[in-house]
Structure 1
Amino acid sequence: MEPNIPIQRGEEQSKVIKAWKELKITKVNNKTQKKLLDISEWEKKKTTKIESQLARIQRKMDSKKMEKSEKLRSKKAAVHVKAQKKKADVQTRRAQEILDAEEEAARFQAAGQIPKKSSFSCF
């Protein structure tokens, strides 16, 4: 508590009031500055913690993304291998059917016969 200053008159009173006011303003400014520094420190601490959490989550997401990508690349490779096998099977079947048709045509030619089932609609 401030000690009571006896009431003075005139210029002296004005000087005392002015000094009191400046002291009060200085205290308020110092108190405000300390609170602002405390708030800045609190904000920095919280921000650092949040950024750390974000970085951890990002690393987890990157890791999961890499795992998923690798699994999908593996599936894609398996599909490609399977498709290649199916294509090879179709080509093998095609070659066999052409060979069968040529052999059958040679038999008809040798026997002098005309096939009963004609795939040509013009004959």
Structure 2
Amino acid sequence: MFMGETSDNNSNSSDSEDVPHYSYTENNKLLKYQEAATSSARKDTGDLDGPLARLEAEKKRALIKAWEESEKTKIDNRAYKMQFAVGLWEDSKKASVEAKLKKNAEKMERKKAEYFEKMQNKIAEIHRMAEEKRAGIEAQRGKGLLKIEDTAENFRTRGYSPKKILSCFSA
């Protein structure tokens, strides 16, 4: 038997046992239960008439706002970390390039100094060669003068006068 059913002992019919019979008070309880179920269903579907429904809606809005703020903060923190990482990357790359620049500048300075020294050595070598040539010219001049002096001495001792080689050029 079902709850709230009344059994009819006098009736032997099977039809009467299958249909439940409710008393008036049991029907009122059932109606109140159904109304409570439908009113809670209305609250779940978004009917915001009651103060509890408004409170639930406020809670939902606050929860959504807190979630939104939390997500925004996460995104901001992630962006800050990424910007910081980019800044570190930039600084390290700048330092690397500046180190290469400094290294190349030092290398160029060394090459410049070496080239300057090489050119100074070339200048010194040219000067040395010029001095040698001057000395050679001076030696030839000295030999030529000695030869002329010897020839002049021979002319004096022998009494010859020098011959003109090209008479057409003499005055």
TM-score higher than 0.5: yes
TM-score (norm. length: structure 2): 0.51
Could you tell me how far 1:65 is from its partner in structure 2? 3.1
Counterpart secondary structure, 2:169: coil
1:45, 1:28 → 2: CA distance? 25
Among 78, 81, 99, the residue aligned to 2:128? 81
1:7, 1:31 → 2: CA distance? 37
Could you tell me how far 1:109 is from its partner in structure 2? 5.8
Could you tell me how far 1:48 is from its partner in structure 2? 1.8
Opposite residue 22 of structure 1, the aligned amino acid is E
Partner of 2:170: 122
RMSD: 3.4
State the number of aligned residues.
118
Partner of 2:161: 113
Q: Could you list the runs of 5+ residues in structure 2 that have no partner in the other structure?
A: 1-43, 49-53
Partner of 2:104: 57
Q: Deviations over 1:48-84 (max 9, x none)?
A: 2332233233333333332333233223212211111
Q: Please tell me whether Structure 1 or Structure 2 has the larger radius of gyration of its CA atoms.
A: 2
Work out which structure has the larger RCO, using CA pairs closer than 8 Å and 6 or more positions apart in sequence: 2
Q: Could you list the runs of 5+ residues in structure 1 that have no partner in the other structure?
A: 1-5
TM-score (norm. length: structure 1): 0.66
Among 90, 100, 104, the residue aligned to 2:151? 104
Identity of aligned residues (%): 30
CA contact (8 A) 1:108 1:114 kept: yes
